[in-house]
Amino acid sequence: MAVLSGPALNNAAPVTMPRKIIIDTDPGQDDAVAMLLALASPDELEVIAVVTVAGNVDLAKTTTNAAKVLELAGRADIPLYAGSDRPLGQRELVTAEHVHGPTGLDGPDLPEPQIAVQDMHGVDFLVESLGASDPGSITLCTLGPLTNVAAALNKAPDIASRIKELVIMGGAYFEVGNITPAAEFNVFVDPQAADIVLRSGIPITLLSLDVTHRVLTTPERLAHIRALGNSCGSAVAAMLSFSEKFDIEKYGSAGGPLHDPCVIAYVLQPDLFEGRAVNVSVELDGKYTYGMTVVDYWGVTDRPHNAHFVRSVDDEGFYDLLTERLRRLP
């Protein structure tokens, strides 16, 4: 957060301003929880807008789901933009109904939203809003494929210098893949977009499967969220009880990994996480490794660092933060 000071404030406590963020997302239950975590933290985060992208389900459904989450949190005032409905180039869209259900947000029974989606395309909004912003004043929090961000950079390369930071849920290295043996879903959906973003020169923090697989939705943690007694707590417990089934069966773990909220938790409380500066490249040609994020974690090449790669997390601190913030919502 920015801190304001000066002669007029010398005798007063520093005034902190919320960090401005744009959420780019493809809800998805874990995306929804990430949105709620951000919306529950207005002292630290000012959510300027939500932009949707095709990913977990098609664009129409991700946009409807984002609207449902905004209304669930009582934040229909936040502008909602629909972005890209397919990956860059000729690649076919890959979706994940097998994890998230036919709607992408199966679990709770949320009403059809009344929020009007903005007329402007989400990519044009990113170009316009970043182009008009003060350099370093806006952080992009991306929870899905990077199609919108890459398309915006292609359209207006100068916006790269205006972005404070890109905090991305995507990629994997030590945990390898979750949609193919080598590739993480968000990157696999649009590897060309991920490649463009990682080569953009923007300060990047990458929350990969290596860290998200450490924050499991155990029965005890879900019980604490359900016991909050508010609508958002009940909805989150229902969402995660649905989506964790696939991962528990797949991995044999005590709960499902909670991917996207790691992005918002990192922005709110980075001391919960540990990582290092590395080079991350995207495999665009491999027969078996297409879409893999190749992380030079041990510095065995001379490729320049282009990302802060997060590998570990205080999982108890993460769930303490999430549960405390969800308690604040309706």
How many Cα atoms sit within 13 Å of 280 on the Cβ side?
31
Amino acid at 257: P
Please state, in angstroms and as integers, the Cα–Cα distance from residue 15 to each residue in 49, 131, 179, following that order: 24, 27, 45
| Cβ(21)–Cβ(138) below 8 Å | yes
Please state, in angstroms and as integers, the Cα–Cα distance from residue 241 to each residue in 11, 140, 226, 257, following that order: 50, 28, 10, 12
| Dist. CA 215–CA 104, nearest whole Å | 21
Amino acid at 207: L
321-324 long-range contacts (CB < 8 A, ≥24 apart) are 321/37, 321/265, 321/268, 321/269, 321/272, 322/33, 322/37, 322/225, 322/261, 322/265, 323/221, 323/224, 323/225, 323/228
Please state, in angstroms and as integers, the Cα–Cα distance from residue 63 to each residue in 51, 83, 100, 117, 284, following that order: 8, 9, 15, 8, 29
Tokens for 176, please give them. Answer: 């390898």
Out of 224, 259, 305, 308, the active site residue is 259
Assess whether 308 carries a catalytic annotation.
no
Report cis status (omega within 30 of 0) of the bond before 28: yes
Q: Which phi and psi angles does 153 have, rounded to 5°?
A: -65, -35
Catalytic (active-site) positions: 259
